[in-house]
Structures are given as C-alpha cells and as structure tokens.
Structure 1
Amino acid sequence: MPILDIFDDHHNGLTGPICGGFDVTPDDATDLPQMTRGVMVGSVGDVAVVLKSGDAITLPALSPGVIYPVRITRVLATGTTASGIKGLI
C-alpha cells in the first residue's frame, strides 16, 4: 500500500519543506542537474558557487548539518573546501 500524502496536490513553494536532494560533485565547468532551494555540507568548509543571478561567490565556513537556503546553479571545484555537499530541492 503506498504511503498517503495529503499534500500531494499542493504547490511546493520556496518556503515549503525540502522534498528531494542529490549529491554534489564540485565542477568548474558543469551546472548542477537542478537548481537548488538549499545546500548542506558534511564537513566544515567553504563552498564556491554560482547563484541563480549568475553571481559567483564563496560561502565561507559552512557548518555541517545546517540547511543554507540558496539558489545555486553550479558548485565550483576551485575554492570549495567542504565535502559531503548535498543539493536540496
């Protein structure tokens, strides 16, 4: 029997709960498979990203287990020191 989801017909906005995710491999030349709603890391470190706006910035000293609400199109290898990066959607 499938699990009941009474909210299945609701639109999932940016303020709703995270409903999916994927492992991120930093790459200077390749966009993520999907733009994120948030990011989380497995170890303390910097994450160099390209945001939805096209701006390239470094998110410094991210802490593991914290969900950072950022719309990211690419995670850059150059400048990224954190590991265990998860894209959240």
Structure 2
Amino acid sequence: MGILAEQLKNQKEAQVPQGIIDTITTSDTTKLVKPIRAFMVTAPGNVSVLMNDGSSGIYPGCVAGTQYMGKILRINTTGTTATGIKGLL
C-alpha cells in the first residue's frame, strides 16, 4: 500500500466511532467524561449540545438510529426532548 493510500485509510478510520457510551446523562453544567464524536437516540426529538469550540445549539428532530456527528462536550438538559441518547467515541 502506498503512502497516500495509507493516509486515506487512517483518515477514514479516524472518522469511524471507536466506542460507545450506552447511556448519556444530560446536564446543563457538567461536561461528558470524554468528548463524543457522534450521538444516536432511541426515541426521536431535539438534542441540545455544547460543541468543542464552545458554541451550543440544537439538533432538531433527531430520528432514532441515525448518527449525528460533531465533537460534542455536553448534551444539555434544557432543549433536549429526545431520549435514549447514546454517545459514540
């Protein structure tokens, strides 16, 4: 495998979740133990997040079983209506 092919393979692997936090506890003040790179929900709704750059916002209308990407430091209680949130590392 050439150098470029190896670099592309490593980039793709870096984007794929490597672990899971089975249950995320929402909080408006406490950050997650580790930042997550994506989340999924088991029951649909909105998910309010604090991102790595300090910005916050809402992922509206999240659908069960869909991965939503981002470097996320916290899932906020206020503004989150989805349940069964699972974090992907």
Same fold, judged at TM 0.5 (above): yes
Deviations 1:9-68 (A, max 9, x none): x7951x2x3221112111111001110111101111000000011101011000000011
Match of 1:62 in 2: 62
Instruction: State the number of aligned residues.
Output: 78
The whole-number CA distance in structure 2 between the counterparts of 1:37 and 1:48 is 15
TM-score scaled by structure 1?
0.81
Residue 46 of structure 2 corresponds to residue 46 of structure 1: yes
Greater strand percent: which structure? 2
Who is 2:20 aligned against?
21
Residue identity over aligned pairs, in percent, reads 35
Separation in structure 2 between the aligned mates of residue 80 and residue 69 of structure 1, nearest angstrom: 16
- Determine helix, strand or coil for the equivalent of 1:37: strand
Q: What amino acid sits opposite 2:17 in the alignment? A: I
Runs of 4+ in 1 over 4 A off after TM superposition: none
CA distance in 1, matches of 2:68, 2:76: 17
Q: Aligned equivalents of 2:69 and 2:76: distance in 1? A: 18
Gaps of 5+ in 2: 1-9
Unaligned runs of 5+ in 1: 1-9
Pairwise CA RMSD: 1.4
SS at match of 2:31: coil
Query: Which structure shows the bigger proportion of residues in helix conformation?
Result: 2
